[in-house]
Structure 1
Amino acid sequence: MDKVLIKKKDDLLQYLYLKDKKIILCFAKSGDITEEVIADDCFTDFDACYDEDGNKNVIYYNQENEIIFLTQKSSEWTKKVLYAYKDKKTHISNFNLLIKEKILHIFFAIHNSNNPHEVYLIHQKWDKSWSGSNIALIKNISFTPFYNLFLDEEGNIHLIYITKEKNKHQLYYACYIKDRWSQKSLIAEAESIFFPDVIVDSEKNVHILWVEEDIIQEIKYKKKTPGSWPKGSWSSSLTLAYSNNIKSCYFTVLENNLWCTYIQNNVFFTAMSSDNGTSWSKPFKIPPFPSDYTLFKLKNIKDNLKSNYSFINSEGDFIPSLQYKLTRKNGEKDSYFTFYIKEVQEYLNILIKKIENIKEEKRLLEEELTRKNSELTIKNRNITELQELVKQISEEKAKIALKADNYNTMVNSLLLENENLKKQIKDLQNKIILLSNKIEMLQNTSTIEKIKNIFKKPDQS
């Protein structure tokens, strides 16, 4: 949130805003604005509020990976480092600061830059000592605010937050009572959910507001009546309005009436309930132009107004305010209701347009599917041809292997025959040696004796 309003008294506004990493405290009165830079090292965002002693308190994250707590007593600011993170990849943002009866509650989101799609929602509490917990793991959320809080009169904290699983957004509710968090309750599930808001009225009814989008955008509402902790009794969801361009939707409790205010096509609209959300008026236009107003985050600035946000102009006028009331001209009947036939017809027209767009998307997807199927057929054909080629290569390989086996058998036979020939040659060489010896012995005898000795049998002496 760019601007946080911490005090309104008569025509004096006190608010803080962030510019160029500087947190600036502004005093606006009758068109005159004075500014004071109270911090120049805010790295992400901040939050601020007054405590019961009238001290200003600010929480933020600086470039040194430190959570800083600023307190102004009288005219002096005191700076304190609550925690320093050693890992430079740590990223902290989405601060919320709540103080009641000198008990300090700090909420923030923390993630590591290596995994920005998983964010932990942290709650730290100071009540003479620090305590805290990881409330929830927020997945795949790329917008803010993805959570909202409300501190009721008894010091209980009501939390709603959005996460995303299995390609759908889920909206959960939990409450902090007597130093412990309740189990989370699933409030809604849709293709997209944004602008969550929660508020508690004087009768302890918990009112939850959000915008969801499946085919078109719808402002949804749900109420929990007082009951046993932690669930109580939940009403069914009610659609307060629909459009295709809803922005900045928030709750306000003003003079015991519940207001739902939002911008649609650069026009303020609001719906109102005077029976604690049981029934609602048809949304009606509010005359001012949104371009003349700025959205502020509110921190308990008026006794008769309860809200987390409000549009405020340079004169200090709030949206909504009591000057904008239901009349028969803008939609009031004997009892409040949500839709007329005209609105239903407009709703159907929007649905028809969305369906036509979906049909066109379906046609394009079918064309893409046909093209992919054609590519797949060609690839399958190529795979078949490759499989046939592999089969042929395998058969050729088998034939070559068979020939190789035959050649190996032939070579082995030749080697065996060669060994036999070598043996025969060796035997012949031995016989030649014996004959040579005999010839040498007979060289000195007569020819007849030589002939006799040659033909003499071995057993004759």
Structure 2
Amino acid sequence: MANILIEKGDFFKYLYLEDKKIALKKISEGKEAEEVIVSDCESDFDACFDDEGKLNLIYQNSEGELVLLILSEKGWHKKVLYSYPDKNTHLDNFTLLIKNKVVHLFYTLSSISKPREMLLIHQKWDKNWSGKNIALIKGPLLFPFYEVFLEDERNVHLLYTTVEKNKTQLYYLFYTQDSWSPKFLISESEKIFSPATLVDSQKNIHTLWIEEDIIQEIKYKKKTPGSWPKGNWTAATTLAYSTEIKNLHLSVIDNNLWGSYIQKDSLFATISSDSGNSWSKPFKLPFSLQEVEFFKLRAPLGNLQSNYIFLSKKGEIIPLEYKPRKEPEEKSTYFTFYIKEVQEYLNLLIKKLQTLKEEKSFLEEELNRKNAEIAMKNKNIFDLQELLKQANEERAKISLKADNYNTMVNRLMRENENLKRQIKDLQNQVLILNSKLESIKNATTFQKIKSLFIKEED
């Protein structure tokens, strides 16, 4: 996360996070002094000043507590706003804004069980706490993915990105009269990140973001105040294109809009002096990355209105203390594209197209290889189908033989049953004959005895 600048004058102070420690550093005349404020920060953090000039700081500690620290004359005062004892719950991406004693707090809540999802939450203190889950953010995301602009204590403007159906969507919504508006789709692309927004003194809403599809482009949209059709959003305008763009932010200086960013190893900016209707071509600022540092701005700096700034090691605020020099031939340079930029753009496209052609050739080779494999597998499938057909025919023959054998066995079993019955009948007949024979034998013996007695009587 960016360091947070809280004071800038003859010296400057800023807060930074390192090794779970939030420290306050003061630099004056080349000398540094440091104070560790928090030693158990488990998230990022944010800070801002309230109406009494007290520094407020928000973070999540190692015990799962959402902590608000307030710096007074007696030192730091700690308030635990909420406790999440579940170690699987993580708070992060804090934004703290205070105006007219109304506190607006934004943060994300995520769970280890769903690493690609997080809730974007808004909490407000106005004599009591109230809050709302604004959106379910789906990843994977490129950071930063949301930005908030506090117009006044009652009006808040929000840009955020989420991923749906493999596309990144950029949404805008605003908070007024204690309720959030429906979300409005600003843009959709392969990748969108670094949204930036602010509202100028004329109530125009300005938005910038980085869009990546083949190359990176800085896009701009504006909404004028009032109802339809006056309050319509303009069409998206491309202000710059390159690769490796980061730290994009919007600023208003002397009623001029500045879009500042890092492109590769240099600082660039583009300016609009007519409230975003037209923009200068991007120009390089005379600072190297080794000379500057990127800060979230939480200190009032004269006529500068911005959420972020670049600060040089000499203490120069960029672009507030930078005055671009116009060449005579560049008096009317306030338009977006020049031939040179278009040529650079085309060169980038040519390189990207060459890469895509190489990838296409590789994919075609892979496709041919896969087609050959599929053809071989189809042939194997055909052979297997033939073998299966033969096996089915053999099985049909075997089934027919089995049916014949079953028929023959059934017939033999029936014949066997008939034979069993015949044998049983014969056995019964034998028993009857044996009985008759026994009777005959017995009768014969009796006749013999009888004849003997009859002979004796005679």
Aligned-residue offset at 1:60: 0.3
Aligned-residue offset at 1:442: 2.8
Aligned to 2:358: 360
CA deviations over 1:40-64 (Å, ceiling 9, x no partner): 1100210001111011100001121
Aligned to 2:126: 127
| Two-structure CA RMSD over aligned residues (Å) | 2.1
Structure 2: distance between partners of 1:303 and 1:321: 9
1:412 to 402, 410, 413: 410
Aligned to 2:236: 237
Aligned to 1:219: 218
Aligned to 1:6: 6
Aligned to 1:459: none
DSSP-derived class of the 1:36 partner: strand
1:113 aligns with 2:112: yes
Structure 2: distance between partners of 1:335 and 1:268: 19
Aligned to 1:31: 30
Structure 2: distance between partners of 1:367 and 1:43: 49
CA deviations over 1:210-247 (Å, ceiling 9, x no partner): 11111221111111111139993211111111112222
1:286 aligns with 2:285: yes
Letter in 2 for 1:77: W
Structure 1 pair 422–308 and aligned structure 2 pair: CA distance change class (3 A)? same
What does residue range 294-309 of structure 1 map to in structure 2 within 5 Å?
294-309=293-308
Structure 2: distance between partners of 1:242 and 1:411: 89
DSSP-derived class of the 1:117 partner: strand
- Which stretch of structure 1 is more off in the superposition, 303-312 or 96-105? 303-312
Structure 2: distance between partners of 1:29 and 1:17: 17
Aligned to 2:395: 397
Aligned to 1:258: 257
Structure 2: distance between partners of 1:301 and 1:314: 19
DSSP-derived class of the 2:430 partner: helix
Aligned to 1:458: none
Aligned-residue offset at 1:440: 2.4
Letter in 1 for 2:437: I
Aligned to 1:170: 169
DSSP-derived class of the 1:424 partner: helix
Aligned to 2:186: 187
Aligned-residue offset at 1:155: 4.0
DSSP-derived class of the 2:343 partner: helix
Aligned to 1:453: none
Aligned-residue offset at 1:340: 1.6
Letter in 2 for 1:324: K
Aligned to 1:58: 57
Aligned-residue offset at 1:444: 5.9
Is there any run of 5+ residues in structure 2 with no aligned partner, and where?
449-458
CA deviations over 1:334-381 (Å, ceiling 9, x no partner): 351122222212221211221111111111111111111111112222
Aligned residues: 447
What does residue range 7-156 of structure 1 map to in structure 2 within 5 Å?
7-8=7-8, 10-153=9-152, 155-156=154-155
Aligned-residue offset at 1:273: 1.0
CA deviations over 1:114-151 (Å, ceiling 9, x no partner): 11111111001111111111111111133321000111
Aligned-residue offset at 1:25: 1.2
Aligned-residue offset at 1:2: 3.5
Instruction: Indicate conservation of the 8 Å contact 2:224/2:230, yes or no.
Output: no
Structure 2: distance between partners of 1:231 and 1:365: 49
Instruction: Indicate conservation of the 8 Å contact 1:241/1:283, yes or no.
Output: yes
2:440 to 439, 442, 447: 442
CA deviations over 1:306-350 (Å, ceiling 9, x no partner): 111111123321111243224126x73235112222221222121
If the length of structure 1 is used for normalisation, what is the TM-score? Answer: 0.92
Structure 1 pair 446–128 and aligned structure 2 pair: CA distance change class (3 A)? closer
Structure 1 pair 14–433 and aligned structure 2 pair: CA distance change class (3 A)? same
1:343 aligns with 2:347: no
Structure 2: distance between partners of 1:439 and 1:284: 139
Percent identity between the aligned chains?
57
If the length of structure 2 is used for normalisation, what is the TM-score? Answer: 0.93
Aligned-residue offset at 1:303: 3.4
Letter in 1 for 2:6: I
- Which stretch of structure 1 is more off in the superposition, 431-440 or 157-166? 431-440
Structure 2: distance between partners of 1:230 and 1:339: 28
DSSP-derived class of the 2:371 partner: helix
Letter in 2 for 1:357: T
Letter in 2 for 1:364: F
Structure 1 pair 318–428 and aligned structure 2 pair: CA distance change class (3 A)? same
Structure 2: distance between partners of 1:15 and 1:41: 19
DSSP-derived class of the 1:365 partner: helix
Structure 1: distance between partners of 2:356 and 2:136: 33
Aligned-residue offset at 1:445: 6.1
